[in-house]
Amino acid sequence: MAEKIIVFIFFIPLLAVLVWSFFDPRESLLLGKRWMFNEEPEPSEGAIRYIKVASAISIVVLILLFILIIFL
């Protein structure tokens, strides 16, 4: 029972970051990298699409994994 609570505690922040990355891919792409640029960089549409698709797939996989861990 305790390991399921620990898994839940670790999954929630990861899921929150993935949801944020899905809804605001421009900001999540530049997270921790703004200091490298003198002016605001503009990510390409392909990079934004990649972040959204990767986030969506990761959210689905993470939720399925969480359900498997809880019920097994």
Q: What is the pTM of this model?
A: 0.85
Q: Where are the domains of the chain?
A: 2-33+41-71
The pLDDT, as a whole number, for residue 13 is: 95
Report CA 38 to chain centroid distance, whole Å: 26
**pLDDT one-digit tens code per residue, 10-52:** 999 999 999 999 999 999 988 888 888 888 888 999 999 999 9
Give the Cα separation of 47 and 19 in Å (integer): 17
CB contact at 8 A, 22 and 55: yes
